[in-house]
Amino acid sequence: MNTLLAVDSDSSSEILSQLTSHQGATLMRVIQDVFPQNAMSETQCAIAFEAYSYRSARLIKSGLAGLDDQAQRAGYADYRSVMWEVDRVELLLRIESTPFFKTLIGALSSVSGD
């Protein structure tokens, strides 16, 4: 199980357990940037992703890698190293039409109340 998203095994999503620590930390940063008004717990994130399949896990991993690539092209080590929220949001706007972003929003909207 991903140590950053260490929720108890009964509530842990199969998808989240497949992420590396870096991927989990990046996913949590993206969630904070997309839903800044809602402090989502790791358990809420696990619940949101429980309905998604293995294919979605690959989509999420690929999307997180793409986000890191976007950050690297902008001169950062990876997405998490982008210090300013405005710069992270700019990177997110570049990917908002991707299947990764749409999957993320769909999963999280169900538990965020937005």
List, as one string, the DSSP characters of 53-111.
-HHHHHHHHHHHHHHHHHHHHTT-SSGGG---HHHHHHHHHHHTTSHHHHHHHHHHHHH
Rounded Cα gap, residues 87 and 101, in angstroms: 17
Rounded Cα gap, residues 114 and 103, in angstroms: 15
Query: Mind listing the pLDDT tens digit for each residue in 20-63?
Result: 889 888 888 888 888 776 666 666 666 666 655 556 778 888 99
Q: Which secondary-structure segment (H or E) carries 22?
A: helix 21-34
Query: Mind listing the pLDDT tens digit for each residue in 56-103?
Result: 778 888 999 999 999 999 999 999 999 999 999 999 999 999 998 988
Q: For the chain, give the number of residues.
A: 114
Residue owning tokens 């809420």: 44
